[in-house]
Amino acid sequence: MTRRAVITGIGVISAAGIGKEAFFQGLRSQSPTPPLVVEDFDPAPFFDSPKEIRRHDRFAQFALACATEALEQAGDLQCDPDRIGVHIGTGVGGLSSIETQVLVNEKSPRRVSPFLVPMMMPNAGAAAVSMRYGFTGPCETTATACAASTQSIGSAFNAIRWGRCDAMLAGGSEASNTPTGTQGFINMTATSSAGISRPFDLERDGFLHAEGAAVIVMEEREHALERGVDILAEIVGYATNADAHHITAPSPGGVGASACMELALADAGLTANEVSYINAHGTSTPLNDANEAEAIMKVFGNPGPAVVSTKGVTGHPLGAAGALEAAAVTLSMQHRLLPPTANYRTADPDMAPIHVVAEEQTWEPGISISNSFGFGGHNATLVIAPT
């Protein structure tokens, strides 16, 4: 029998809102003013002591907080811990810990924290979640830039449908809005000089560097039905591939992106005309948006599905972006509502014509795609279905 993987819990931390409901309402509002950091996050409820907090980088704190919210919604998983895994991606990992300890090292190398390595390592978020809850299944981290958390969710999906696990916590976390991290993106001219994220808009001029995290609980469908838990959505397809073209620029004509979407649809056993909604990677950079639009046009034609980029509100939380967007798709299904592509005003006449949603609209939930495309040419696509 084919094993199916469903979503039964969501946890979110974002500049658009802390907690899944605040996050979704934030997607419906005006984009916040940079810097896009999570100002009101308090890690204290998720740790036993201030000392324990200090031993976890901010990105790991985010991961644990999101996992806690997701598990509260999913309830008692009633699984053998050996069959519950954790797969949490990140683009950068513990950058703030690295920066802090570099300054300490300038004063005296002996003052460097003995916890620096476990705080900076990219797998610290996944490790923190597995240790807190005693999940002894596979515990892994994907660090493929902006595709990281979509690939993490895809790998978790495979672990369930291929029979390795009965439940997985999957997602991504990022807290790289440090002086070095922020300046690095500014110096490579990837960020908006106007301080506005305008995905797919004629005036787009770069992304807004942001922090955030999201974790979803996925479990085998029959197991969820037996528990009587609410099923929020189902992952029905996944694919990943590589552009093999350039370290930061996408392959011309969206070749890699279009192939990835086609592979994901084939994996789901679906055709392009069955898709009603695409949550685009949509970073607001000139090259990414143009190439993604061309890829969407190639796969879906014109008119194609409704297209939304939530990065007009969330900014670009790098390795956490895909998890936040998978959460946004699932919440859109629950609310039967598509949020707007914030700051989208004027279509680019030189861009392939796609149906960008400029204003919030009601929606009859249908087959949806969530795209992530990362530096290094990493592409990943999830296919998500309503229940």
Are residues 190 and 246 part of one domain?
no
Structural domain including 161 reads 5-233
Nearest to 144 by CA among 330, 321, 15: 321
Full-model pTM: 0.97
pLDDT digits (tens, 9 = 90+) for 24-52: 999 999 878 899 999 999 999 999 999 99
Tokens of 343: 């700051």
Catalytic residue numbers, as ranges: 146, 281, 316
d(CA 313, CA 36): 9
Residues 125 and 74 in one domain: yes
Domain boundary among 202, 233, 264: 233
Q: Is the pLDDT at 1 greater than 70, yes or no?
A: no
Q: Is residue 209 helix, strand or coil? A: strand
- Same domain assignment for residues 332 and 364: yes
Q: Which long-range contacts (CB under 8 A, 24 or more apart) does 32-39 make?
A: 32/313, 33/195, 34/195, 34/208, 34/315, 35/177, 35/182, 35/209, 36/177, 36/208, 36/209, 36/210, 36/211, 36/314, 36/315, 36/317, 37/177, 37/210, 37/211, 38/13, 38/14, 38/62, 38/211, 38/212
Specify whether 44 is located in the same domain as 130: yes
Average pLDDT over residues 169-188: 97
Tell me which of 233, 262, 287 is where a domain ends: 233
Segment 291-311 shows an average pLDDT of 97
Please tell me whether residues 100 and 247 are part of one structural domain.
no
Q: Same structural domain for residues 204 and 248?
A: no
Q: What is the pLDDT of residues 44-76, one digit of tens each?
A: 999 999 999 999 999 999 999 999 999 999 999
Chosen domain end from 215, 233, 251: 233
| Cα–Cα dist 261/293, whole Å | 12
**In contact, 71 and 90? CB cutoff 8 Å:** no
- 191 and 258 in a single domain? The answer is no
| pLDDT score for 110 | 87
Query: Do residues 202 and 308 touch, judged by C-beta distance below 8 A?
Result: no
- Percentage with pLDDT > 90 across the chain: 95
227 and 362 part of one domain = no
Give the count of domains, the chain.
Answer: 2
Rounded Cα distance between 88 and 18, Å, is 18
Average pLDDT across the chain, whole number: 97
In tens, the pLDDT along 103-150 reads 888 888 888 999 999 999 999 999 999 999 999 999 999 999 999 999
Strands 84-89 and 139-140: parallel
Give whole-number Cα distances, 23 to 15, 99, 127, 328, 344, in Å: 8, 29, 25, 8, 20
Phi/psi at 124 (5° precision):
-65, -35
Do residues 185 and 241 both lie within one domain? Answer: no
Percent of the chain with pLDDT over 70: 100
Residues 126/63, Cβ–Cβ less than 8 Å = yes
Same domain, 81 and 214: yes
- CATH code, domain with 142: 3.40.47.10
Given this model, what pLDDT does residue 243 score? 97
Contact 177, 38 (CB under 8 A): no
| pLDDT for 106 | 85
Express each pLDDT in 347-367 by its tens digit: 999 999 999 999 999 999 999
Tell me: do 113 and 17 sit in the same domain: yes
Are residues 182 and 299 both part of a single domain? no
